Structure 1
Amino acid sequence: MVSTTFRNLNSEKRERINQALLTEFSKRPLAEAEVAPIVKQAGIARGAFYKYFDDLRDAYRYIYGVAMGSIHVEINEEVNDHTFRPQFYVDQVVAFVDNVGASQYRDLVKMHLRRNESLVDEHFDDSKLSGRQWAAMILSHQVIKQILEEPERRDVLISRLLEVLNLLARKENA
């Protein structure tokens, strides 16, 4: 867990550390990342790193959380009222992909999806989702991965997602 000491750092120093974390975790998968380049780029002592973070996994979770907070659009309205509107999910995917592409976190997100996703414990409680919402979430995440890997296929992948989500919506009305 990120320490209170880190959270209380002045913004300039915290930003230097954030940039060093972003650089390391965008270039190397978590399993190959090292503390040395982070502390060198950030201009901090190795001991300070461990004062701020439990380990590299903790630092990775922190910076990925910062990235998601900057990029991700909330979808709570759709989940809370249990509606199912296919275009809503497509719009969320498009917004996410556009936000990733325009952000400093693009390479971090790509690395996360390629190599780190299975290494980080992300506990998302999907028990409140309907079956259709759960399926839309899984499909949306897969489409995001594919678009980030093959941006030239974006339009085809978005069309296919909408087609499948419309099938799920029809099933609801049948």
Structure 2
Amino acid sequence: MSLLEEKAMVSTTFLNLNDEKQARIRKALIDEFSSRPLAEAEVAPIVKQAGIARGAFYKYFDDLKDAYRYIYGVAMKDIHIRINQAVAKGEFEPDFYVKQVTAFVDGVSQSSYRDLVKMHLKRNESLIDEDFDDVNLSGRQWAAMVLSHQVIKQILLNPKERDVLIKRLRDVLMQLARKGD
């Protein structure tokens, strides 16, 4: 479970809903938070689209920020490819990071979460606390993570720059790999 998901624990009431109703609510959340920044989002369109009472919304989520954290956490879980054994082993392979960034960007671009992630990067990122568990990373791994997240953001906001940004990431990671030898 990501830190974002931990901070947005939906109620047991929500988790006990049938799959179809949960899916309707998730779709309504995605649509609202994809079309409006969190600061301008409203409960009314969500409950109308989901076909639930306003009071039910507040039984499932504490507030809009809680609902946003929940749906953004779901999106990241669905489309994020975890950096696995290579990080755990302490290996530093630039192409591994480049492949992860490329896969993530492609996954977001082809998912129903594309507009939600773009809105997050444009308007909501600073409103949500996102902590990264990076204390156990080496300096190179930490640098690769920070660079990777920045490149992902730039590509999603400027897709025409994808190839240039991927090449730049690969070049910088190759320099980091040489420095560590």
1:140 pairs with one of 113, 137, 148: 148
* Letter of the structure 2 residue corresponding to residue 81 of structure 1: K
Is 1:80 matched with 2:88?
yes
Moved more, 46-55 or 118-127: 118-127
Structure 1 residue 99: Cα displacement? 0.3
Deviation at 1:123, TM superposition (A): 2.0
Give the secondary-structure state (helix, strand or coil) at the position aligned to 1:65. Answer: helix
- Does residue 54 (structure 1) correspond to residue 62 (structure 2)? The answer is yes
- Whether 2:115 is the aligned partner of 1:96: answer no
Which amino acid in structure 2 is aligned with residue 91 of structure 1? K
The answer to whether structure 1 residue 120 and structure 2 residue 123 are counterparts is no
The correspondence for 2:16, drawn from 8, 25, 28, is 8
Letter in 1 for 2:20: E
Distance in 1 separating the partners of 2:160 and 2:130: 29
User: Out of 29, 54, 59, which is 2:37 matched to?
Assistant: 29
8 Å contact from structure 1 (residues 79, 128) kept in 2: no
Give distance in 1, aligned partners of 2:85 and 2:126. 28
Counterpart of 1:62, as a letter, is Y
> Which of 20, 26, 36 is 1:18 aligned to?
26
Identity of counterpart residues, as a percentage?
Answer: 74
Superimposed CA distance per residue, residues 97-147 of structure 1 (whole angstroms, 9 cap, x where no aligned partner): 100011000000011111111111122211011111111011111111111
> 1:78 offset after TM fit, Å?
2.3
Q: Per-residue deviation at 1:79?
A: 2.0
Runs of 5+ unmatched residues, structure 2: 1-8
The partner residue of 1:169 within 147, 154, 177 is 177
> Structure 1 stretches (4+) deviating beyond 2 angstroms?
none
Q: Distance in 2 between matches of 1:125 and 1:101?
A: 26
Select between 75-84 and 154-163 the one with higher mean Cα deviation.
Answer: 75-84
Give 1:65's aligned amino acid. G
For these two proteins, the number of residue pairs brought into alignment is 173
| Cα distance in 2, alignment partners of residues 161 and 91 from structure 1 | 11
Give, in whole Å, the separation in 2 of the partners of 1:132 and 1:113: 24
TM-score, normalised on structure 1? 0.97
Quick one: distance in 2 between partners of 1:71 and 1:139? Answer: 19
Cα drift, residue 89 of structure 1: 0.4
Task: Tell me which moved more, 164-173 or 78-87.
Answer: 78-87
